[in-house]
């Protein structure tokens, strides 16, 4: 009996030692420094360039959906133009609390002391000016040099606003993921273009969907481990009720031109334009309707033509809007 007890205690001691070692390793190893190139980007004072950056920030790229206080998000979605003073935050159990920083040129609390190259590197490579990981919420790695310049030019043009936003706080799970190399800075998959012709072609629509608007971030199904389980743009992303949706939940539709299951397969180009220009139907739905309603008709045409050029994928999304209290798919 005593021998068995000693064995059990020895096993428990080994388990405790292993756990303690893992915890210690994670605490010592998570705060890694990363290297990334500095893009050759220089802000411009050209009014047309600044206006393009503003169009992206308050429109298709919807920067203003996060870089304003949470109580102003729906106001900005509805057309309020305010400096991007930061303040949005999201709590993820185990992963921590993530906060969007002040992007006005204030020198103490904003980006006033950041160089253009540091800002460009943060957007394109998810590496902060102190070489630490920037959690990859911004998926604009493929933004053209011209549009990246436009965005930074617009940020520089804002009035400086003093608004101290506490830095994001990573939880133990997030630290563990970083420590073991499972989460790293995300860079562009290929060399970003210098510029992209702004026309109505499917090629420009591809750029808008994948590098500017991040449609793919919502219009796919993700499993419990964070892996994509269906084809690009086939829909099925689940969005439970949030603080703005008044109890409604949503599932993203299939955007491929499959005749049986494609949500917009039978839509005409004008119907697509009208829906985008029509704005929000449900408050708090994940689609940034207010922002995309401010897209130009030519941009919307390009997006329509790109989506209709995709390979049809049969993937049924039975329902896209769920009433308060209604059980949603997992």
Per-residue pLDDT of the chain in tens (330 residues, 90 and over written 9): 677 777 777 788 888 888 888 888 888 888 899 999 999 999 999 999 999 999 999 998 989 999 999 899 989 998 899 999 999 888 888 889 999 999 999 999 999 999 999 999 999 999 999 999 998 888 899 999 999 999 999 999 999 999 999 999 999 888 888 988 888 899 998 999 999 999 999 999 999 999 999 998 899 998 877 788 899 999 999 999 988 899 999 999 999 999 999 999 999 999 999 999 999 999 889 999 999 999 999 999 999 999 999 999 999 999 999 999 999 988
SS3 60: coil
Q: What is the DSSP letter of 260?
A: T
CB half-sphere exposure, 136, CA atoms < 13 A: 15
Q: Which residues contact 71 (CB under 8 A, 6 or more apart)?
A: none
The b/e string for 282-314 (b: 16+ C-beta within 10 A; e otherwise) is bebbbbbbbbbbbbeeebbbbbbbbbbebebbe
Q: Rounded to the nearest 5°, which phi and psi values hold at 63?
A: -55, -35
8 Cβ contact partners less than 8 Å away, ≥ 6 residues apart: none
CA distance 265 to 41: 40
Convert 204-228 to b/e letters by CB count within 10 Å (16 or more is b).
Answer: bbbbbbbbbbbbeebbbbeeeeeee
Burial of 147 (0-12, 13-18, 19+ CB in 10 A): buried
CA distance to 170, 173, 270, per residue, from 256 (Å)? 37, 35, 17
Residue 177 CB partners (closer than 8 Å, separation 6+): 183
Q: How far apart are CA 245 and CA 247, in angstroms?
A: 5
What pLDDT sits at residue 1? 61
Q: Please report the pLDDT score of residue 132 as a whole number.
A: 94
Report residue 304 as tokens.
């329509």
What per-residue confidence (pLDDT) applies to 26? 85
Task: Output the furthest CA–CA distance in the chain (Å, rounded).
Answer: 84
Q: According to the model, what pLDDT value does residue 38 have?
A: 97
| Distance of alpha carbon 151 from alpha carbon 39, whole angstroms | 14
Asked if 233 and 314 count as a contact pair (C-beta separation under 8 A), the reply is no
How many other C-beta atoms lie within 10 A of the C-beta of residue 14? Answer: 10
At 311, list the tokens: 């390979």
């Amino acid at each position: 009996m005593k021998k068995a007890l000693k064995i059990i205690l020895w096993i428990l001691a080994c388990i405790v030692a292993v756990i303690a070692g893992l915890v210690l390793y994670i605490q010592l190893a998570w705060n890694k420094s990363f290297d990334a190139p500095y893009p050759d980007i220089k802000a411009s004072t050209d009014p047309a360039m600044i206006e393009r950056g503003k169009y992206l920030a308050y429109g298709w790229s919807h920067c203003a959906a996060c870089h304003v206080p949470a109580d102003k998000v729906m106001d900005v979605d509805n057309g309020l133009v305010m400096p991007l003073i930061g303040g949005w935050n999201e709590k993820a159990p185990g992963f921590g609390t993530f906060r969007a920083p002040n992007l006005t040129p204030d020198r103490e609390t904003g980006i006033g002391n950041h160089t253009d190259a540091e800002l460009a590197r943060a957007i394109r490579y998810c590496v902060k000016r102190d070489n630490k990981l920037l959690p990859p919420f911004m998926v604009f790695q493929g933004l053209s040099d011209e549009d990246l310049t436009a965005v930074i030019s617009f940020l520089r043009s804002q009035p400086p606003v003093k608004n101290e936003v506490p830095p994001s706080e990573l939880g133990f799970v997030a630290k563990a993921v970083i420590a073991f190399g499972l989460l790293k800075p995300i860079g562009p998959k290929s060399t970003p273009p210098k510029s992209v012709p702004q026309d109505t072609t499917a090629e420009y629509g591809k750029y808008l969907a994948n590098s500017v608007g991040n449609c793919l971030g919502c219009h796919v199904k993700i499993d419990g481990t964070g892996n994509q389980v269906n084809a690009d743009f086939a829909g099925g992303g689940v969005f439970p009720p949030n603080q703005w949706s008044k109890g409604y939940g949503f599932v993203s539709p299939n955007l491929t031109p499959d005749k049986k299951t494609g949500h917009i397969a039978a839509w005409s180009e004008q119907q697509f334009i009208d829906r985008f220009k029509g704005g929000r139907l449900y408050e708090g739905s994940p689609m940034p309707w207010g922002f995309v309603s401010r897209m130009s008709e030519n941009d919307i045409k390009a997006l329509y033509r790109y989506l209709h050029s995709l390979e049809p994928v049969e993937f049924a999304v039975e329902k896209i809007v769920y009433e308060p209290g209604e059980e949603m798919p997992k």
